[in-house]
Amino acid sequence: MVLVIAGDGTAKLAHEIAKRLQATVAGVEAKTFPDGEEYVRIEADVQGHDVVVVQTTYPPPRLMRLLLTLNACKENGARRIHAVIPYLAYARQDRLFKPGESLSSRVVAEMIALNAHDVVTIDAHKDDIRAFFRIPITNVSAEKPVADELKRQRIEVVLAPDAGAMPRARAVAQRIGAQFDYLEKKRISSDVVEMTPKNLDVRGKSVCILDDIISTGGTMAKALEQLKRNGARDVVAGCVHGLFIGDAADKLKRAGAKDVFSTNTIESPFNRVSVADVIVHALALKASTPGAR
Ligand code: R5P
């Protein structure tokens, strides 16, 4: 029998996944000791079960809670341990940018692989990080549910905030027959940099700027202000992983966002898109992958 373990701050998504898998949900008691150390205890007997641990890793204490929960599954006799990590932290440091740095993505991958048999994650910041896992990992895209949301909002143009984010904007736009482009940085003077769409004229259009992460909201706010100056009719700020640090959401509203939304990889009031279906699909694929442990 499959048991879905609802990790800290990820319970709603875990319940959605369990419903689709027709599985039982078990909670996790989690607390932080006065010295800052984490504690977890699975509130069910996992002995002999296939378990799906759903635990996101923002804010940072949740990464430790994920590692402890995976270990609790193993120590208590779970048969197979699938780690569903909707937002995978430390995925940006996938190389040594400067001498003396650590390869953080590899460290995290190795710690997860100590107890999990396989991993499903959503839109990892760098797909290359899959190479650091010595267990099967599926990095699934949220483009379908995000595209459904943009269709609902009648978005005409999907813009990536930079060239690197263009593949996501293009894939989502093509699903709904919208135009796509990316914002190019142009240095106007020594202290003024403009971000304008590389090819498209957005005047009078309904636009979504789509990024993988909204963290402090700085990147998105800058892009929003510029697009409003360029005459876009409505601008929506969308992302897969909404960290919304500090006053990020207010910053976006002040910059003129008609709407701000994220998927539910990290719970927040801006969750408008569910990744439950794509996760369940990936879990099913994994189960049928020959050679998967
Ligand atoms: C950067 O590589 C990411 O794709 C996002 O553009 C970035 O994390 C956004 O950060 P912030 O919201 O702090 O500008």
Q: Is any ligand 1 atom within 6 A of the Cβ of residue 218? A: yes
Cβ–ligand 1 contact at 94 (below 6 Å):
no
Predicted pLDDT at 197: 87
Looking at residues 268-289, what average pLDDT do you find?
A: 89
Cα of 286 from ligand 1 centre, angstroms: 30
CA of 125 to the centre of ligand 1 (A): 10
Distance from Cα 217 to the centre of ligand 1, integer Å: 7
Nearest atom in ligand 1 to the alpha carbon of residue 248 is 12
pLDDT single digits (tens) 152-173 = 999 999 999 999 999 999 999 9
pLDDT above 90 as % of the chain: 90
Lowest mean pLDDT among 64-68, 135-139, 184-188, 267-271: 184-188
- The answer, yes or no, to whether residue 120 has pLDDT greater than 80, is yes
Across residues 94-103, what is the average pLDDT?
Answer: 96
179 has pLDDT over 70: yes
pLDDT tens per residue across span 32-59? 999 999 999 999 999 999 999 999 999 9
- Rounded to the nearest integer, the mean pLDDT of the chain is 94
Task: Give me the residue label for tokens 């990992």.
Answer: 137
* Per-residue confidence band for 290, with pLDDT thresholds at 50, 70 and 90: low
H helices of 177-247, in order, are 218-229
291 has pLDDT over 60: no
Q: What whole-number distance in Å separates Cα of residue 144 and Cα of residue 150?
A: 10
Residues whose CB is less than 8 angstroms from the CB of residue 179 and which lie 6 or more positions away in sequence, other chains included: 156, 157, 158, 173, 200
The pLDDT of residue 253: 95
pLDDT of 293 higher than 60: no
How much is the pLDDT for 26?
A: 98
Distance of alpha carbon 153 from alpha carbon 127, whole angstroms: 29
Cβ atoms of residues 252 and 220 within 8 Å: yes
Residue 216 beta carbon below 6 angstroms from any ligand 1 atom: yes
Alpha-helical (H) ranges within the chain are 11-21, 61-75, 104-113, 143-152, 166-176, 218-229, 248-254, 276-287
Q: Phi, psi at residue 107, to the nearest 5°?
A: -60, -45
Residue 286 pLDDT > 80, yes or no? no
Contact between 259 and 153 (Cβ < 8 Å): yes
Is residue 213 in contact with ligand 1, taking CB distance under 6 Å? yes
Residue bearing tokens 């403009």: 194
What atom of ligand 1 comes closest to residue 219's alpha carbon? 14
Q: Which atom of ligand 1 is nearest to the CA of 125?
A: 4
* For residue 279, pLDDT beyond 50: yes
Residue 239 Cα to ligand 1 middle (Å) = 10
pLDDT score, position 233: 96
- For residues 34 and 89, give the distance between their C-alpha atoms in angstroms, rounded to a whole number: 24
Kindly report the protein residue whose alpha carbon is nearest to atom 1 of ligand 1. 213
Active site residues: 185
Q: Per residue in 192-241, pLDDT tens?
A: 777 888 888 999 999 999 999 999 999 999 999 999 999 999 999 999 99
As a whole number of angstroms, the distance between CA 258 and CA 206 comes to: 10
Closest residue by Cα to residue 238 from 280, 200, 206: 206
Q: How far is the CA of 142 from the centre of ligand 1 (A)?
A: 17
Give the CA distances from residue 99 to residues 61, 95, 103, in Å, rounded to whole numbers and listed in that order.
Answer: 27, 10, 11
Instruction: Say which DSSP state 91 is in.
Output: -
Q: Which residue has the tokens 């709407």?
A: 259
Among the ranges given (46-50, 105-109, 138-142, 185-189), the one the predictor scored with the smallest mean pLDDT: 185-189
Confidence of residue 187 (pLDDT cuts 50, 70, 90): confident
- Name, in order, each residue with C-beta under 8 angstroms of 247's C-beta and a sequence gap of 6 or more: 217
State the pLDDT at residue 188: 78
